[in-house]
Structure 1
Amino acid sequence: MHSKGQSFIKGAAILGIAALISKLLGAVYRIPYQNITGDVGLAVYNKVYPIYSMLLIIATAGFPIAISKMVSERLALGDKRGAKRIFRISAYILSMTGILFFIILYFGSDLLAVLMGNQQLSIAIKSVSFALLIVPLMAAIRGYYQGHQYMVPTAYSQIVEQIVRVITILVLSYWFIKNDYGVYYAGAGAVFGAFSGAIFAFAVLLLFWKKTNRMTDEIFLSHGQVEIQQFSQQPVVGIIKKILYYSIPIALGSLILPLFGVVDSFSVSNLLQALGFEKNQSEYWFGIYTRGQPLVQFTAFFATSLSLALVPSISEASARKNHQLIQERTDLALRLTLLIGLPASVGLAVIAEPANILLYENNVGTKTLAILAFTSMFSTLGITSSGILQGIGQVILPARNLFIGVIIKLVLNLILIRTFGIDGAALATVSAYAVATFLNLIAVNQYTGIKIGFLNFFVKPTIATLMMGAIVWIAKEFLELAISPFIPKERLLMAVVSIVSVSLGIIVFAFSLFIFGAITKKDLINTPKVGKKLITFTERLRILKD
């Protein structure tokens, strides 16, 4: 039992690390991609990929978890043949679903492109559709391995998939631009990365399959188990029903987030064209609008890391029905998340112009980027609060709240883009995430009974953030004046300004948190992994309060 528990924990950790690496790679590649293709190229990618993501989630989301659960149940009963039968049925269903959605996406590409306001997007939609022929089958294989609590193949394949995908995006987009094929072919090459990444990931899974299939009894079955046969001939319909029972709720929950991108894909350019923008102009401004996504995702990356560390401990406390511990850990998770999201939002808003020039070569859309910066605060709190609700068994509420956010996003796009142009799309995004997060926090309060202290939760972090924002702004303005004569290259100048300003801001913010007592010794004691080291460091500086 001990080894099994350790194996599960180790496997979960491996999957968590793989997911974080994939998210990090997925957050940063868009910056060099925009530098290669420009903002219209960025728009092509960011309009097409959410549609693929949505169909992929409908086809596969929840299946790996459902398959792993059913496979592990069969193996626990010694029914190895039944476990393999579940895999075969699942693989068939997913393969057929993938082929169906490939046909829909490939042959419906012209119609979808017209609905998005640009017929030239058709080639990119066709390009990304090929991934649907492979990725669903991969979901079945990953679920089968996870059912054996063997997470390494899934983790390795995820990392390989993302690395190959990013390489494909950058190499093909560069080749198409260099050879004068234009941004739409460059975008098609970029989204083709979903297929090339899947090919290599599938190859990794097959290598593991070949290696482990010969010794499956030793690796997968517990010592002393005797294989039995009576479960192996469950009716196919019964197996399919059970798979769908487990997978559909997860798929619905996973589907919501990509819908934000789908709403933008079908509404923003069309609304801009209705205001009188030319087609290429509308795509250009859509690309400008999506410049902020990597920066917001990068912040969310840290919130996801925190969520992975803290939410399992909340689940553990919930299983023990230790309500006081649930409240303490929930309070800590939310406060630490706010201490990431709030300064990230304000800091990014303050340095929006130098960051824009540094990353994207010019300052076009700086105001849009500054508005989108505040998505960081709400998205990070949304990620953590969703994890908390899932940890205490309320898995439907976060999906429901995000769906409400999607509806608000669509309505506000229709209203605000007409009034404020592309800035309206950014305002709609921030507002939608704010509402979804606020609903999550109400639910967290309702189901955990947590008492959110206004002083510690809002006032102290806000004071520290305002101090940080002021220092960052002063440093930014001073540095631009003081060192611009010595650094003639604008991007290099903005790199120095951004790095120095942000570094000063982080130091001021961190010290302010401890000086004002926004973070106490008790908080650090309850923080996994890094808490003890931080206690030692801050006690040496004599800034830690009890």
Structure 2
Amino acid sequence: MLKKSHFLGGAIILTIAGFLSKIIGMFYRIPLQDIVGDSGLGLYQEVYPLYLAFLNLATAGVPIALSRIIAEALAEGNTGKVQQILARSLLLMSVIGTALFSLLYFSSPLIALAMGNLHLVEPIRAISLSLLFVPLIAVLRGYFYGCQKMMVVGLSQVVEQTLRVVLIMLTAGYLVKLGEDTDSVIAGVNFGTMISTVISLLFLFLLLGWQQRSSRLTLDPRWKDWRWWIDRRFFLNMWKISWPICVGALAIPIFSLVDSFLAINIFRYVWRVDGVTADAWFGVYSRGGPLLQLASLFGASIALSIVPAIAEAKRKHDEDRVRTLSRISFRFAWLLGLPAGLGLTGIAEGANLALYGDLEGTRAMAILAVSAIPLSMLLATNGVLQGLGKENVPALHLLWGVGVKIVTTLVFASLFGIDGLSLSWLAASTFVWLLNMRSIRKLVKSEQNWAFDYIYPLIAANVMLLCTWTATIGCQYWLHGISARLLGAAETVIGIAVGMIVYIGLLVAIPLLEPRELDWLPGGNVVRKFAGFLRKRRTEQ
């Protein structure tokens, strides 16, 4: 049985690991640009999204699907079946990874020609090698998700990202020092990415072996029989579960693709600007993308953590636990999505100054940050539906959401420019979240206190936002003589600190967390004692 603190503890671990990985991924491009120059960075940026598209195609649904299948097997007490599931998944993803590698590697000249840059051939071939190994990493992470070992997954994410950045920097610096041309340098950089995935895969296999030894598990003696590895029904079941999860997990990439296809044309033909200006406007708008992903991390982490937890409860026919897990998911996605989205809105100006040195696109960035709130709820409700075995539902809702995103992008961007692009994110993600909630209410009958669950946290988050704005204005007044980037960094750090203190203080003092909910938090007993102390002091006064 999953301990109460493990579910949210796992989500918190994945959030911290994701945050560290995103931060590392955001800032390594600055030294990389210094090493390879603008043209080298341009080549890298052209190839990497292509790799991500293939990567998502191969792996997006696998960890969640596998975690659900393994959690169901563990709920039945069938550890031998878990080994077989893992082995068959590794075989399946080895075949898929090899197929996608071959497709990308051998079609690289055609892809480079279609992209209008033949210098991309070798960089594409180098990055394609990673597809041989990343699907296996996805399988092992899915196995640890299913076993509720979120610390292992979080550690592997940070290790992989750190290794990738270190190897990219070392490879780029070494090849530039040797005097290699830009194509060769970027190919070497992408080869460094492949090496980091190999080391990360070996690290996960090491952790897998350690876990199985500590659990005193022995390898199933039937592993030498090919029929133990190959089961057509299992492969079809994995496909049936994973493909809609794959679609549902692509909310951010798909919505971003809508922007990519429509925004430039809207700027050019509705706003009547030239191509260079349209590209510049889109570049300014894209500044908010990393902040949106950071703010929605907890919702994504809840989605990964909740699927095996609900699948286990559902397999045991524990409907009360299913209701409790669903409600806790909504509550904490809302309680933490609110300060993340509104907090980033409050520090948008400072973050823009610190990262980019000017204030262009600050309003669009602030609106996009607000979108993190419904996006967090969207991702969390996706996880609940997937855990309930309704993985087709969030996929269908996302397709409807894409339609809303297209329509709202055309309308809002034509009226408001880059601010309209951000508004379209807010509209589309809210629409999909509400559709998900409607479906969950039909499947899980749970009571909700709208004032306590939604209204009071919203009021507290807006108080936090007001305090954050006040703190950033104070920074501008007291530190107006320093450089723009330093001022922006100071506004950001102080705004985040003030916002966290105010919001956490309100959560504990009001309180917005029920005593029974604190049992689900790691260290919740400490928070409960502190809240009780505050209430006692208020009573004495």
TM class by shorter chain equals: 0.7 to 0.9
Match of 2:104 in 1: 101
The letter of the residue matching 1:102 is Y
Match of 2:56 in 1: 57
Match of 2:246 in 1: 254
Cα separation, 2, equivalents of 1:308 and 1:88: 23
Equivalent residue in structure 1 for 2:454, among 446, 453, 458: 458
Matched, 1:499 2:479: no
What count of residue pairs does the alignment treat as equivalent?
521
Deviation at 1:470, TM superposition (A): 1.9
Deviation at 1:99, TM superposition (A): 0.6
Q: For the Cα contact (< 8 Å) 1:51–1:262, is it kept in 2?
A: no
Match of 2:165 in 1: 166
Deviations along 1:289-325, one digit per CA (max 9) or x if unpaired, are: 2211222222222334455566654444433433333
Q: TM-score, normalised by structure 1?
A: 0.77
Equivalent residue in structure 1 for 2:262, among 254, 267, 271: 267
Deviation at 1:102, TM superposition (A): 3.3
Match of 1:540 in 2: 533
Match of 2:198 in 1: 202
Match of 1:490 in 2: 484
Cα separation, 2, equivalents of 1:513 and 1:78: 41
Q: How many percent identity over aligned positions? A: 23
Q: For the Cα contact (< 8 Å) 2:339–2:461, is it kept in 1?
A: yes
Q: For the Cα contact (< 8 Å) 1:416–1:425, is it kept in 2?
A: yes
Q: For the Cα contact (< 8 Å) 2:127–2:187, is it kept in 1?
A: no
Deviation at 1:265, TM superposition (A): 3.0
Matched, 1:281 2:277: yes
Match of 1:383 in 2: 379
Matched, 1:510 2:514: no
Cα separation, 2, equivalents of 1:59 and 1:454: 40
Cα separation, 2, equivalents of 1:159 and 1:336: 24
Q: TM-score, normalised by structure 2?
A: 0.77
Deviations along 1:82-112, one digit per CA (max 9) or x if unpaired, are: 997885675345313321133345522332x
Matched, 1:336 2:328: no
Deviation at 1:363, TM superposition (A): 1.0
Deviations along 1:251-275, one digit per CA (max 9) or x if unpaired, are: 3422433322333333333433334
Cα separation, 2, equivalents of 1:192 and 1:431: 42
Describe the shift of the 1:86–1:450 C-alpha distance in structure 2 as closer, same or farther (beyond 3 A).
closer
Cα separation, 1, equivalents of 2:13 and 2:438: 30
Describe the shift of the 1:78–1:252 C-alpha distance in structure 2 as closer, same or farther (beyond 3 A).
closer
Report the secondary structure of 2:102's partner residue.
Answer: helix
Cα separation, 2, equivalents of 1:374 and 1:350: 10
The letter of the residue matching 1:477 is I
The letter of the residue matching 1:131 is I
Deviation at 1:16, TM superposition (A): 9.4
Match of 1:528 in 2: 521
Report the secondary structure of 2:317's partner residue.
Answer: coil
State which drifts further: 372-381 or 95-104.
Answer: 95-104
Q: For the Cα contact (< 8 Å) 2:258–2:406, is it kept in 1?
A: yes
Q: For the Cα contact (< 8 Å) 1:472–1:504, is it kept in 2?
A: yes
Describe the shift of the 1:218–1:371 C-alpha distance in structure 2 as closer, same or farther (beyond 3 A).
closer
Matched, 1:360 2:359: no
Deviation at 1:208, TM superposition (A): 7.9
The letter of the residue matching 2:368 is L
Cα separation, 2, equivalents of 1:83 and 1:513: 42
Deviations along 1:369-408, one digit per CA (max 9) or x if unpaired, are: 0110112101211222122222222222222222322232
Report the secondary structure of 2:336's partner residue.
Answer: helix
Q: Which has the higher contact order (CA 8 A, sep 6+)?
A: 2
Report the secondary structure of 2:296's partner residue.
Answer: helix
Deviations along 1:388-445, one digit per CA (max 9) or x if unpaired, are: 2222222222222223222322333333323222222222222221111111111222
Cα separation, 2, equivalents of 1:427 and 1:43: 29
Report the secondary structure of 2:513's partner residue.
Answer: coil
The letter of the residue matching 1:251 is W
The letter of the residue matching 1:196 is G
Match of 1:436 in 2: 432
Report the secondary structure of 1:328's partner residue.
Answer: helix
Equivalent residue in structure 2 for 1:76, among 73, 80, 86: 80
State which drifts further: 316-325 or 473-482.
Answer: 316-325
Cα separation, 1, equivalents of 2:258 and 2:413: 13
Describe the shift of the 1:490–1:95 C-alpha distance in structure 2 as closer, same or farther (beyond 3 A).
same
Deviation at 1:203, TM superposition (A): 4.4
Structure 1 residues not aligned, in runs of 5+: 114-118
Deviations along 1:429-488, one digit per CA (max 9) or x if unpaired, are: 222211111111112222112233221122211221222222222222233123324xx2
Cα separation, 1, equivalents of 2:232 and 2:288: 42
Matches within 5 A, 1:170-181: none
Deviation at 1:232, TM superposition (A): 2.5
Q: For the Cα contact (< 8 Å) 1:30–1:294, is it kept in 2?
A: yes
Deviation at 1:281, TM superposition (A): 2.9
Matches within 5 A, 1:7-26: 21=17, 24-26=20-22
Q: For the Cα contact (< 8 Å) 1:130–1:195, is it kept in 2?
A: yes
The letter of the residue matching 1:370 is A
Report the secondary structure of 1:542's partner residue.
Answer: helix
Aligned residues: CA RMSD: 4.9
Matches within 5 A, 1:398-413: 398-413=394-409
Deviations along 1:131-187, one digit per CA (max 9) or x if unpaired, are: 3333244424764797799989987765443223334666788999999999xx79x
Match of 1:116 in 2: none
Cα separation, 2, equivalents of 1:450 and 1:457: 13
State which drifts further: 349-358 or 129-138.
Answer: 129-138
Deviation at 1:51, TM superposition (A): 3.7
Q: For the Cα contact (< 8 Å) 1:253–1:396, is it kept in 2?
A: yes
Describe the shift of the 1:426–1:393 C-alpha distance in structure 2 as closer, same or farther (beyond 3 A).
same
Describe the shift of the 1:75–1:88 C-alpha distance in structure 2 as closer, same or farther (beyond 3 A).
farther
